[in-house]
Structure 1
Amino acid sequence: MTNEQLVNRLAEAAESGDISRGLRALSDYVGAAGFLLIRQDINSENALENVISSNWPFDLVRKSGASLMSDLSRATELDKCLSILQPLFAMMPDTPDLPKGASQQYCSVNFNVGRNRYCLTFMCPADFIFSQQRVRATGVYASYLASLMFSEHVKVSRELELTDRELECLYWIAEGKTSDEIATIIGISKNTINNYITSVMRKTATRTRSEAIAYAVRHNLV
């Protein structure tokens, strides 16, 4: 499949509103035995809630989805930043749920659409070696597909933009200031500052001030 043919198939999938159709096109492009697309959300307690589309057997999705979400939740903001569009090859645990012709190896590519982060995982077929160049390219193509398909999600994410006061607090955090120091600089209480910082971390899906700073640098917020 040529790049032009792939883009045409992705556009047709977006027009029809069928995300699985586009993911099948991406699977054909790299020669994968199956696909799994999940939305990365550290606040979700149920990994299956984050599964957008897959043609893997359900039990495999349930096991692997939970494992992938667990790995992603432990990754730092810097790790997530460095992993964008970088293929990650790994092995699934021994399982009888693999489809016929599939190997235990899988490959994942992370990509962003707006403030939302996604992970696209391909199941490797037996006796076949992926082209890393093509796998890396799928991250770009998948981002293109998701931007067409999930425009409403992107719109919702924009509603979570940081306020001017939250950005101000984030700036002073990046400057190494404590909550007490920021409260003195801005002229409001320490508790209010902490509330702003908590809101910043909720909106950016970060867990520590360091991760919030890394997020801010990556998105040119400070």
Structure 2
Amino acid sequence: MTSFGGQTEASAGLAKRLASRGDLTGFLMALSQSIGADSYMLVAVLHDQNKSDVRIVASNWIYDAIQLVGHQAIAAIAQSTHAVPPGVRPRPITTRAAPAVAGTLSGEEVKLLDVLGHGEIFALRLNVGRQRLFMLLSTAEPGELDPAELSRAQMRCCHALSQVPGLLAAAAQQDPLSDRERECLYWVSEGKTTDEVALILGVSSNTVNSYVTHAIQKFAASNRVMAVATAIRSGII
């Protein structure tokens, strides 16, 4: 395996000064580069009574890839039996020419991940106080990541993130909606029709539909009802 000593030192240095979302992104980028990972995603699992919601805290996946794969599949990977805690040897989810992953991903989802450049994915649990966090690290080609290096990166990540619980909480709870999108969803949740919301906000019905559609897409929901439920559960409206 190629040595990435320079990047390891860089990630260690960044970990000492995590003070913003930019610092967090820089740290995760350097950490990923240090072990040769092509992609990373830091995921928070939030619980509300008997339900759970997955929030992407930081990622270098392109937006379209996240939308195509969907939050449900990302949640399945993060909470699968492949997601290992510190001290346990990481084991991959291989998507290159692989069948469905029993209990985790369908054959169509596996094929899509491979096409998008995630031929092999490792899911690592991170012990950060009471927060449930998971790091997904992937490469386009299987066999590129050393499990021993992954374990060391996992420990470095746990240590660094444990120093900034407030930053992580704020990132995980970050409101993805614009003011107008939030207003539209709020009035929809109150039982208002599109025309009624348009009258209240002083905009056209097409504009209201556009705002609501954007909100649905940001929540990776399938319809208005699901988007409203997600926003309420997250405390956004």
Normalising to structure 2: TM-score of the pair?
0.51
Task: From 26, 42, 45, give the equivalent of 1:40.
Answer: 45
How far the C-alpha of 1:24 sits from its partner, in A, is: 0.2
Equivalent residues in 2 for 1:17-56, closer than 5 Å: 17-18=21-22, 19-43=24-48, 46-47=53-54, 50-56=55-61
Shift of 1:45: 5.4
1:70-85 equivalent positions in 2, closer than 5 A: 70=76, 83-85=84-86
Matched, 1:88 2:91: yes
Q: How does 1:72-151 map to 2 (within 5 A)?
A: 83-85=84-86, 86=88, 87-92=90-95, 93-95=110-112, 98=115, 102-126=117-141, 129-151=144-166
Paired residue secondary structure (1:106): strand
1:147 to partner: Cα distance = 1.8
1:107-131 Cα distance to aligned partner (Å, 9 max, x none): 1111111111211011213265211
Query: How many residues are treated as equivalent by the alignment?
Result: 145
Counterpart CA distance in 1 for 2:80 and 2:129 is 22
For residues 73 and 5 of structure 1, do their structure 2 counterparts lie closer, same or farther at Cα, with a shift above 3 Å needed? closer
Change in CA separation of 1:116 and 1:97 when aligned onto 2, cut-off 3 Å: same
Q: 1:34–1:98: structure 2 CA closer, same or farther, 3 Å change rule? A: farther
Structure-2 change in CA distance of 1:71 and 1:42 (3 Å): farther
Please state whether the residue corresponding to 1:151 is helix, strand or coil.
helix
Q: CA deviation at 1:36?
A: 0.6
- How far, CA to CA, are the matches of 2:136 and 2:146 in structure 1? 15
Distance in 2 between the 1:31 and 1:97 partners? 18
Counterpart Cα distance in 1 of 2:40 and 2:32: 7
1:5 and 1:73 map into 2 onto residues whose CA distance is 30
Secondary structure of the 2:162 match is helix
Deviation at 1:34, TM superposition (A): 1.0
For residues 71 and 4 of structure 1, the distance between their equivalents in structure 2, rounded to whole angstroms, comes to: 29
Change (3 A) 1:9 1:89: same
Q: Which amino acid aligns with 1:94?
A: K
The percentage of counterpart residues that share the same residue type is 15
Name the aligned partner's letter for residue 132 of structure 1.
P
Q: Match for residue 57 of structure 1? A: 62
Secondary structure in 1 matching 2:144? coil
3-state DSSP of counterpart to 1:95: helix
Q: Distance in 2 between matches of 1:71 and 1:104?
A: 14
Contact 2:41/2:56 (CA < 8 Å) preserved in 1?
A: yes
Q: Tell me, which stretches of 5 or more residues in structure 2 are unaligned?
A: 96-109, 170-237
Aligned AA (1:120): M
Letter in 2 for 1:125: A
Unpaired runs of 5+ residues, structure 1, are 155-222
Structure 1 residue identity aligned to 2:149: R
